[in-house]
Structures are given as structure tokens and as C-alpha cells.
Chains A and B, each alone.
Chain A
Amino acid sequence: MSQLLHDEQQQGNTQQTSCSAPSSISLKELSLELSGTKILKNVSFDLSSAGINCLVGPSGAGKSSLLRCLTLLYDNWQGKITMDGIAIQSWPKGADALRRHIGLIAQKPSIFPTSIYQNVIFGLSRQERKQDQQKWVEACLRKAALWDEVCNRLFDPASTLSIGQQQRLCIARVIALNPNVLLLDEPTSSLDPRSKQLIEASLYDLAKNIPVLCVTHDLEQAQRLQGQMIFMCDGKLIETAPTNDFFQSPKRLETREFLRWSVCNCDE
């Protein structure tokens, strides 16, 4: 599937190919305050090269807010976020251009009231809609593990899909932009096991080429994805470690507590 996607990129879709290389994102001393409440407190970490990174932590740890900062949906944060060495606040051509490089998939699927096909190409500009667009749509839907289920009804309303299919459609829609980094906010939290499995397979495949940061509450899922673990609690970054180390020999007390009870107890 990955090969197919990259074959498509090489078929003259130069604009998309130009942003297909994996990027590195670096967060330094990221802090965020909303309505007088500190949501993020000096969070620093790097996402470099391809691979899966699982961001875990209790509710209210600031995980989703961090994703919103990374995509400039929140822009009132302090600190520094750079992508490939460029500060994202001063990204050439602004926040809209940046968001085309950083794909964000929300917890609940949000489809547009149009066809499945149109949803996939929704983010593409007129210039990006090429002659071989149909092949590109197919490649994206295959990559999101949805093609087999919708190939005969591409022009049906997207609202006719199940929730799990809609979430995979959202992934295909983001893949169509060929992002350099993929951020997911609990993408499988309300899905059935089969949809969950298909999305995980899709993420695993995508992570071969680009960094993927997946917020999840599902520790079993984090173990299955076998990536770098990032643990946050109360707006602070507590620990980062490879999956096996994180689960077998956590270094910090807060992590041990979280793993033991899945409840944060890190008030200082």
C-alpha cells in the first residue's frame, strides 16, 4: 500500500511529492494557559524521523491541547515549536500552509456533507486536483484501509458510512494532502474492534514514512503499536521511553502509578 502511494506521488504530482519527506518536530518549553488555567507546563520533546509515538496520560493532562498547539489551532502558547528547524509561528505562507504539512485527525470523525470521493479530495486545492485524481483517491482510501468497502459507492453520501468507516475516511482525507507529520487524537476511542484493528494497521503502515503522534487512553493499543511512549500528566511531560521500557521498567513514580492505577497522582 505504501508503495502504491509513493508510486502515485511519482506520477507527476510534484507539489505533493515535495512535502512527502518525513519531518522532525521539536517542542521546547511549550506552555499554554486558557482562561487562567495552565494547561501545558514547559513541555519539551522531539518527534524525529518516521515511526509511531504514543502520547498517553490521564484526562486533563493536556494531550489534546498539545496537538492543537502543534497545528496552530491554539496560537496563544509560549515556548518554541519548530518543524524542520523553522518556527511554526513564522511558517512561510502562514498557518493554513503549515496545517497542510501536519495532518490532524480528531477523536470523533467529522465528515463533510458531500460524497465519499469529495471528502477525500476536500483539502486539495484546484491546482492539486490532477488528471489521475481518481487513482490518488483510490491510493488514499487503500492506505486508510477503506477502499474495499467503498470502491463501489464512491459517490454515495459520506454520511452513509459507519462511524468506524467515517474515521478511516477522515484518515484518507488527511493522507490525500500527503502530510509530513500525522497527529491523531484518540482516533479509535469510540470504534468497534475491527475498525480499531484496521486503523492501527493503517497507522503502522503510515508510520513507516512519516512521524505519527497518536494520543490514546488505550494502553493495550499503545503496546500493540510498539512505538515511542510519551507520558504526560497535569500539563507536564513526565517520561518518554520505548514501549517495552515504558511498560516494563518505568523510571518515574508518576508513570508507575499511572500504569498501576491508570489514575494520575502527580500533584506537586
Chain B
Amino acid sequence: MKAVLILLALPAILLPLACFVYIIIQALPALNWELLMGSNTTSGSLFAGTAGTGHGLWGQISGSLLMMLLACFLAAPLALSIALFHALWASPYQQRMMVILLQVLQGIPPIVYGLCGLIVLVHLLHWGISLAAGGVILALVILPLLSSNAIHALERIPIAQTESAKALGLSVGAVIVRVWLPSAWSSMLTGLLLAMARALSETAPILFTATVFSGITWPDSIFSPVTSLQTHIFYLAQEGSNAHAVDMAWASAAVLLGLVLCFSLMARLLRRYEGAL
């Protein structure tokens, strides 16, 4: 029985590991410092950057990180407010409805968010393809995840602790600032790091709303388009006949995987710290 279960469980460990190793092996020939820190500033042809005028990924890395940061900056306060409303004022019925709606929002395919962003932000509001549009759409994508995490973080605080604080005459604001947030910050930060990893790995929502293939290292303003690792891989993968493009795609994938792993590992370390508290 045990052997059967081990056999069934093995793919869960081996498949991701195999994918990771394969990506690294494929990416190794192209991975170097110049690739990470160099910029691809030549616009025009799809492979202008691969022709030798500078084929770095710095523009893509910075674009992805900028969008991720903007999304978290927008979504985190909203998620915290949603969690506080859920804990403080929502009736049991409203609490159930909120949880169901957040689950529904989490289930919406990211491409649908991207389409909404294209219609509403890019066209109706005339933001154009921009960092702002991408950030807002990514914020909507990670909002349910962040909110659910914040709700659970607050739910884990013992009721007795909240009541003790109230019994000492602390106002609602003081209970939030002095009891809830100090108790829940590590859980919330863990959720934020996981949301950052999620924002980094999303491609569809920013495909129509924020990114171009090349020509931008650092956006001029929040309403300028950016390049990103996710969409860069998408564009490069479409050119399967070009060996250099494929190498670049593998290298981009390895860098993106590294960034996502970084945030996931930070979240994991924080969770361990949280458990030790």
C-alpha cells in the first residue's frame, strides 16, 4: 500500500523538479551577467534585440517587477480593508457572501481580466497600453488571493485576545493597530509575497494592457508601455525556427522562474518564522 502511494506521489515531486532542471539546462548557454543587466533598447523588428545590438533582459525584469509592485501597492490596502470589514462589521450572511465572491473572483480566467482591462482601461479610459493599466489589472487578479489570506490571518487571532483588548477600553482602531496587525502581520506578509509571485507569473492580463516586445528599458511615465519577462517569453516562443530566440526564451523563463521562486521561498521562510512565534 505504502509503495503504491509513493509511486502515485512521486510525479508530484519529480515533475516540477524535472521541469526546473530542464529549463535551467536549456537556459544555461544564454545565461550570463550581460543578459541579466543589459538592456534591449532597439525597437522595430521583433528580433531587433537579438541581432547583437544589446540582448539583455533588464528592461523585461524591471517591467515585470514594476508591474508587480504597482499591483501589490494597489491591492494590499484594499485587501486589508476587505478583511477588516469582514471581521468587524459584516453580518454572518455578508461574511459568507464575501467568501463566495472572492472564490468566484479567484476562479475567473486571467485572460478575461486582460480583456476587461483592454476594453475599459486601454480604450474607454484612454490610458493606452501602459504600466498603469497592467498594474491595475494585475491588482484585480491578486486581490482575491490577498483578501482571502488577510481574512484568514485575522480569523486566526484568538477571539479572547480581541475581547481582552476591548475589555481594557481600547477603541476599534486601537484594537486593529495594537492587537490585530501585530498578531497578523507575518501571515499577511506571507500572503503578500505569494501574491507577488502570482503577479510575476501572470501573462494573460498584461498581454493586451501593458506590454510591448522591446524598445523600453524603463517607462517614461506610469502611462507608458513596459516590457515584461512573461510576455517576452510568449513573443519569443512564437519564433520557434529562430534558434537564438528560443535560447533567449529559455533564459527568460529561467530568470522568471528564479524571481518567482525567490518570492515563494521568502514566503516559506516567513511562514516558518510565524510558526516559531
Contact = CB atoms under 8 A, between A and B. Distances in A.
B164 interface: yes
Interface residues of B, number: 17
Contacts of B166: 73, 96, 99
B160 A110 contact: yes
Interface string B153-179: 000001011011111111100000011
A100 B163 contact: no
Interface residues of A, number: 21
B277 interface: yes
A170 B166 CA distance: 13
A104 B164 CA distance: 8
A100 B168 CA distance: 6
B16 interface: no
Given A112-B179, A113-B182, A113-B183, A104 B167 contact: yes
A96 B172 CA distance: 9
Given A113-B182, A113-B183, A99 B160 contact: no
B158 A110 contact: yes
A122 B168 contact: yes
Nearest to B162: A110
Contact of B169 (A96, A108, A113, A170): A96
B224 to A, nearest CB: 45
Contact of B167 (A73, A97, A114): A73
A140 interface: no
Interface in B55-70: none
A1 B160 CA distance: 29
A250 interface: no
Contact of B161 (A97, A100, A110): A110
B183 A177 contact: no
A170 B163 contact: no
A98 B167 CA distance: 9
Interface in A106-128: 106, 108, 110, 112-114, 122-123
A96 B171 contact: yes
A106 B161 CA distance: 10
A114 B168 CA distance: 16
A123 B158 CA distance: 18
A71 interface: yes
Contacts of B179: 112
Contacts of B183: 113
Given A73-B166, A99-B169, A106-B160, 18 more contacts: A71-B167, A96-B171, A99-B167, A100-B168, A104-B167, A106-B167, A110-B158, A110-B164, A112-B164, A112-B165, A112-B178, A112-B179, A113-B183, A113-B277, A122-B165, A170-B164, A173-B168, A177-B169
